[in-house]
Chain A
Amino acid sequence: TIGMIAVDQGGHVAAGTSTNGLTHKVPGRVGDSPIVGAGAYADSQVGAAAATGDGDVMMRFLPSYLAVEQMRSGADPSAACKTAISRIKRHYADFFGAIICANTTGHYGAACNSVDGFSQFFYMISNSETDAPHLMSVDC
């Protein structure tokens, strides 16, 4: 799955997702990616977020919407991402998932939940400083 956020110099924000979902799913199953507020959410007054992982669990908590609302309340992107992950973790301690967050000033962050085989989450950024894709990571 890919979740992506773009912010331009005017603070215009868009977000998107694309996926083929979980392998061996029951036919008809849909994950969080196409669900607004779950797979991604964007509001040019604030910023955007995009989630990835086990969509069956994550879509129950609208983590992208929550992260954007956290940023609206003043949280920095990293803290907003962590809150969204923590909210899910309260109910599903061993869920597999991660989220990226960015605000309209160009600050960004990410968070993930540590499970077996997944202790660090990698994501990509490109901005006017890097002027090219740059690999980033966050410890879960």
Chain B
Amino acid sequence: QAALPLVINTWPFKIATDAAWRSLQSGGSVLDAVEKGCTQCEVSQCDGSVGYGGSPDERGETTLDAMIMNGDTMEVGAVADLRRVKNAIGVARAVMERTSHTLLVGESASVFAENMGFAAEDLTTNKSLNIFSEWLKGNCQPNYRKNVLPDPSKQCGPYQPQALVTDKQLRGHANVHSHD
């Protein structure tokens, strides 16, 4: 089992492994390999859980999170809640290489990305729109809210805090189709 170099990734995303492996074989660094592999998944929208057009939020918007870490220097670049930019891992690497920070988030991360030359594009697709509209039709189920009114297990928002806070433990809705 011990053989170097090595690329390993979560889930059966063969195209990502292949892209990373080819990067290493062509003389790229381990950072290049990780960036290429993750970028390939973003472009190919691996399993719908990576890249644009997947996992719409309560408002129907797709946002992206990504991180890259250099094990030699312990430098890290990360972006969270990134809007309008498809290449999240590329922006994460730009955070690492073009700032002294570790994590940029939200709208400001998108502005940083645009300033660094990344294209601003709509991350919505017909598929993500359909997922969102089906969710609305299904009374916004599944739903991650709790201790709010109206009852989030039955109705859509807008929500207000519930006067009496319950201790009810809710199970998460993450599964093989919706995950981090």
Contact = CB atoms under 8 A, between A and B. Distances in A.
B29 to A, nearest CB: 7
B146 to A, nearest CB: 11
Interface of A: 1-9, 11-36, 39-45, 48, 50-58, 94-96, 98, 100, 102, 105-108, 117-118, 122-129, 132-133, 135
Nearest to A135: B12
Nearest to B59: A27
A17 B38 contact: yes
17 contacts: A2-B10, A4-B9, A18-B38, A21-B55, A21-B180, A22-B144, A23-B54, A27-B57, A44-B72, A51-B10, A52-B179, A57-B172, A96-B172, A106-B4, A106-B6, A126-B17, A135-B12
B11 A6 contact: no
Contacts of B57: 21, 24-27, 29
Interface string B5-30: 11111111110111011001000011
A55 to B, nearest CB: 3
Contact of B78 (A22, A36, A48): A36
Interface in B135-153: 135, 140, 142-145
A36 B17 contact: no
Closest 9 CB pairs of A and B: A55-B180, A13-B71, A42-B71, A31-B180, A54-B174, A44-B71, A14-B30, A133-B17, A16-B34
